[in-house]
Amino acid sequence: MTGTPVLAARDVSMVFGGLTALSEVNLTLDEGQILGLIGPNGAGKTTFFNCLTGLYTPTRGTVTLRGTRLPSDPAAVTVAGVARTFQNIRLFPSMTALENVVVGRHSRMKQGPLASLFHGPAYRRGEQAARDRSLELLEFVGLGRVHDELSRNLPYGDQRRLEIARALATDPSVLLLDEPTAGMNPQETEATRQLIFAIRETGVAVVVIEHDTKFIFSLCDHVSVLVQGKLLVEGTPDVVRGDPRVIEAYLGKPPDEVEAEVRHYADETADHTQVIELDGGSEGDKR
Ligand X SMILES: Nc1ncnc2c1ncn2[C@@H]1O[C@H](COP(=O)(O)OP(=O)(O)O)[C@@H](O)[C@H]1O
Give the binding site for Mg ion (CB under 5 A). Answer: 45-46, 87
Residue 36 binds ligand X (CB under 6 A)? no
Stretch that binds ligand X, among 39-47, 95-103, 104-112, 115-123 (CB under 6 A): 39-47
142 binds, among Mg ion, ligand X, none (CB under 5 to 8 A by kind): none
Binding site partner of 81, from ligand X, Mg ion, none, Cβ cut-off 5-8 A by kind: none
Q: How far apart are CA 41 and CA 154, in angstroms?
A: 28
d(CA 134, CA 7): 26
**Residue of 30, 190, 259, 283 interacting with ligand X (CB under 6 A):** 283
- For position 46 contacting ligand X by CB under 6 A, the verdict is yes
3-state secondary structure at position 71 = coil
Residues 166-225 that bind ligand X (CB under 6 A): none
Given 41, 116, 194, 236, the residue binding ligand X (CB under 6 A): 41
Helix, strand or coil for residue 119? coil
| Nearest distance, CB of residue 68 and Mg ion, angstroms | 27
**Is residue 231 within a helix (H) or strand (E), and if so which, with residue range?**
strand 230-235
In whole angstroms, the minimum distance from the beta carbon of 251 to ligand X comes to 15
**Amino acid making up residue 81:** G
Pick from ligand X, Mg ion, none: which does 21 bind, CB < 5 to 8 A by kind?
Answer: ligand X
259 Cβ contact partners less than 8 Å away, ≥ 6 residues apart: none
Under 8 Å between Cβ of 223 and 235: yes
Backbone angles phi, psi at 183, to 5 degrees: 80, 5
Where on the chain is the footprint of ligand X (CB under 6 A)?
16, 19, 21, 39, 41-47, 281-284
